[in-house]
Structure 1
């Protein structure tokens, strides 16, 4: 029986209970029926074998042809009280020497059974009746080579009636047991699946406003505990993602509100009265700066969105990290000199990466390090090659970052400054972009901050 994949578990279990119990009862009934039939056959064989031995003894006592007349009398006496028992004696010429009233068995069946011997019973049809019989060739006392064919059979009508009644009772019992098993199986399945329904009711309580709701793990059966824990883990991930999405939406609104407000304010002020061409030029330059800032932010957000969906595919080539780092040092030297910060490079190693993406990632880290380094300090960029990965460590000395801020330092729009003021510090997307670039290359990035030394570590696979 094929079950629909959308059918209920209760229905499936009920049908399986019914099928399993019916098959077991049928197998048990067939075994019992076979045993009863075997028992009847053994009983019949005991009677038939006894009469065959009696007939053999009677034939062995014949000494002359004249004594054949006494054969009928002896056989009739031996069959007294044995109703349904039939005996047929055939001469060597296959002529009937003795036969009971209903012993008109087909000659070919009797001879075929005699050839097999008296240990192999056969079923003989005689009209509407069925007999179980045996046949054998028995010697007589007349001559050593004088043998007659003897067939002994018993009516098994009462056995057949009993078996028919037994099988009818068996089928009715199996049918009733199947119905009863179906009802009990349905009740057991309903009760057994009650924890699933309870879990369903619990999950219905989860909404966008109640993502903190969790399923009780300790109050469910062991088989469902892992499922409940998996659902709780999924809810925790959804809650975290939802909170991040809410924060991200707030951050976007916050970041875009300031430049848009500046643009609107400057435009309204410019339109409030007539101005000279130089004043209009100054206002347009300021507006262009705000537009460039928004364009960069939108471009960065698009890059992050592609990275989240695995659409950022690096164009890999073999690069010398030391060469790329020195090129970035030349770009940031002027900014570092203003604070008296020195840039130092240690080590070298080749890496298979996208040149532009790698420069952007390292540039974001250098820009961040220069911005937050103490005056007259040293920024170290150390390159180390291992059998598994190429490690890039960027260390700068400055104010330590708290563990709470370290946990979210790679989040979008996240700044250590709780005021989140938009200034020369950028839009807060640099470290998030750096992490996306590293992940796109199959690497990892981490950060530590202890005793005033902050270290970013990038591991790129060899």
Structure 2
């Protein structure tokens, strides 16, 4: 497979081509300007000679005398040729080059007239001369002057060769300078590459330089640093999650293994086996809930979509959950209250699960004889559902981690003392993120409040059931 050119090679090639194009254009301009200057000089020379010949014609008393004057004039200027005609008759034609005929053929091209004959290139102009009283009884003449421009052509060829050699040398030097400039200009990219190669799963502290790079690369460096920050945060969370998961699974598996080994150590009565199996079933149910919750969170991490969005009246959902938790509330002497109203768009089962997790948590930690109160508030930007309970305060340093997976405020609690898996609030946060909102908590002075913030934005009407 053909390898792609490096950025240094591309910049070098581009700069060299641009320089070559500029120099080539400059060379063509010089050649055209020089050639135009030679044409201007030749025309001026021919016009000057035509004025001189006009005076000679006016002063000559015979054609022979005129011929002698013209021979003397032409011999003093190498490469100059002249023909003098009178109504188609050649009055003077020393060289016999047929200048008038050649000019006649080139009338369409316009002056000055150029053609090549016998290896020589001639440039000619034609001039009408005034009638001469002394020569031919006042006849009018037509003068054709031509100049051999071979010396100009030799100069142009030499100039072209010189410019070509200079162009090749300049292109080579431009290429070297372009390579040096590209290497120097791309040095920050090489530094960023070296730092990126040092980044591993165990060494995520390396960051791209931002202050010492050009402005064009500063945004790229900042973007890469932001990406590395996210990766470091995600890897730290994944590492912590893996440790928490191993710790959470170890206890029920150890319980199952211990009880099974004890049951098999010696023969027992059927009732004893039934009790052991019932205990194992509880641990297995706990494992099943944990696996189900982990599957739900894994789907949420990959952008959990709302399977069935619909309009939900939150007060109705809260009252339906009150009916489910009424027996538990009566056992602890708790009162269930709901205030306000609100309407959102979301998946009913997911929203009910999020509210249920908050209610279960509030009932578990509320002081007996108090009330668990649910308030609903519609704001311009969101709809807020808050579950209030009176109970032990949550430390301020624990509040930011309250919705993390497997996080428990009371780390000394054993699994046997808690029915939860440590994933309820994490699932609540995942549900809220899937709805475009978030969950929050505050605690102090014996009062704890956990809130669900639902955005007021509505999905397309056709998505609603």
Do they superpose with TM above 0.5?
A: yes
Q: Give the Cα–Cα distance (whole angstroms) in 2 for the partners of residues 280 and 11 of structure 1.
A: 78
Specify whether residues 330 and 124 from structure 1 end up closer, same or farther in structure 2 by C-alpha distance, changes over 3 A only. Answer: same
Note the alpha carbon deviations across 1:416-461, whole angstroms, 9 max, x for none.
2234642325111111111121222232322233444333232323
Specify whether residues 391 and 145 from structure 1 end up closer, same or farther in structure 2 by C-alpha distance, changes over 3 A only. Answer: farther
Q: Give the Cα–Cα distance (whole angstroms) in 1 for the partners of residues 14 and 374 of structure 2.
A: 68
Contact 1:314–1:441 at 8 Å: present in 2 too? no
CA deviation after TM superposition for structure 1 residue 214, in Å:
2.6
Specify whether residues 245 and 116 from structure 1 end up closer, same or farther in structure 2 by C-alpha distance, changes over 3 A only. Answer: closer
Contact 2:385–2:453 at 8 Å: present in 1 too? yes
Q: Give the Cα–Cα distance (whole angstroms) in 2 for the partners of residues 20 and 89 of structure 1.
A: 54
Contact 2:132–2:138 at 8 Å: present in 1 too? no
Q: Secondary structure at the match of 1:329?
A: helix
CA deviation after TM superposition for structure 1 residue 362, in Å:
0.3
The RMSD of aligned alpha carbons is 2.4
Counterpart of 1:126 (choices 111, 117, 128) is: 117
Q: Give the Cα–Cα distance (whole angstroms) in 2 for the partners of residues 402 and 415 of structure 1.
A: 12
Q: In the alignment, does 2:378 pair up with 1:380?
A: no
| 1:393 alignment counterpart | 386
Q: In the alignment, does 2:427 pair up with 1:429?
A: no
Moved more, 185-194 or 142-151: 142-151
Q: Secondary structure at the match of 1:348?
A: coil
| 2:90 alignment counterpart | 96
Q: In the alignment, does 2:5 pair up with 1:11?
A: no
| 1:163 alignment counterpart | 156
Contact 1:113–1:135 at 8 Å: present in 2 too? no
Q: In the alignment, does 2:337 pair up with 1:339?
A: no
CA deviation after TM superposition for structure 1 residue 286, in Å:
0.6
Residue correspondences, number: 452
Q: In the alignment, does 2:288 pair up with 1:290?
A: no
Counterpart of 2:21 (choices 20, 23, 41) is: 23
The correspondence of residues 78-157 of structure 1 with structure 2, limited to 5 A, is: 78-92=73-87, 94-101=88-95, 103-105=97-99, 107=101, 109-111=102-104, 120-142=111-133, 146-157=139-150
Q: Secondary structure at the match of 1:404?
A: coil
Q: Give the Cα–Cα distance (whole angstroms) in 2 for the partners of residues 398 and 136 of structure 1.
A: 120
| 2:189 alignment counterpart | 196
Specify whether residues 58 and 403 from structure 1 end up closer, same or farther in structure 2 by C-alpha distance, changes over 3 A only. Answer: farther
Q: Secondary structure at the match of 1:367?
A: helix
Q: In the alignment, does 2:384 pair up with 1:415?
A: no
Moved more, 164-173 or 144-153: 144-153
Contact 1:314–1:357 at 8 Å: present in 2 too? no
Contact 1:361–1:437 at 8 Å: present in 2 too? yes
**Segments ≥4 residues shifted beyond 6 Å:** 114-117
| 1:55 alignment counterpart | 53
Q: Give the Cα–Cα distance (whole angstroms) in 2 for the partners of residues 394 and 233 of structure 1.
A: 36
Note the alpha carbon deviations across 1:56-98, whole angstroms, 9 max, x for none.
3333456xxx623322122223334211111111221x23211
Q: Give the Cα–Cα distance (whole angstroms) in 1 for the partners of residues 21 and 154 of structure 2.
A: 25
CA deviation after TM superposition for structure 1 residue 387, in Å:
4.5
Q: Secondary structure at the match of 1:457?
A: strand
Counterpart of 1:353 (choices 337, 340, 346) is: 346
Name stretches of at least 5 consecutive residues in structure 1 with no aligned partner: none
Note the alpha carbon deviations across 1:247-299, whole angstroms, 9 max, x for none.
11111111111111111111111111111111111111111111111001101
Contact 2:99–2:146 at 8 Å: present in 1 too? no
The correspondence of residues 286-325 of structure 1 with structure 2, limited to 5 A, is: 286-325=279-318
Q: In the alignment, does 2:226 pair up with 1:228?
A: no
Contact 2:100–2:144 at 8 Å: present in 1 too? no
| 1:329 alignment counterpart | 322
Contact 1:438–1:458 at 8 Å: present in 2 too? yes
Specify whether residues 244 and 102 from structure 1 end up closer, same or farther in structure 2 by C-alpha distance, changes over 3 A only. Answer: farther
Note the alpha carbon deviations across 1:230-259, whole angstroms, 9 max, x for none.
222222211111111111111111111111
Moved more, 254-263 or 47-56: 47-56
- In the superposition, the TM-score normalised over structure 1's length comes to 0.91
Q: Secondary structure at the match of 2:397?
A: helix
Q: Give the Cα–Cα distance (whole angstroms) in 2 for the partners of residues 291 and 163 of structure 1.
A: 99
Q: Secondary structure at the match of 2:157?
A: helix
Specify whether residues 420 and 182 from structure 1 end up closer, same or farther in structure 2 by C-alpha distance, changes over 3 A only. Answer: farther
Contact 1:372–1:399 at 8 Å: present in 2 too? yes
| 1:68 alignment counterpart | 63
CA deviation after TM superposition for structure 1 residue 5, in Å:
8.5
Name stretches of at least 5 consecutive residues in structure 2 with no aligned partner: 457-465
Q: In the alignment, does 2:358 pair up with 1:365?
A: yes
Note the alpha carbon deviations across 1:110-143, whole angstroms, 9 max, x for none.
23567888xx312122221101111133332258
Moved more, 66-75 or 248-257: 66-75
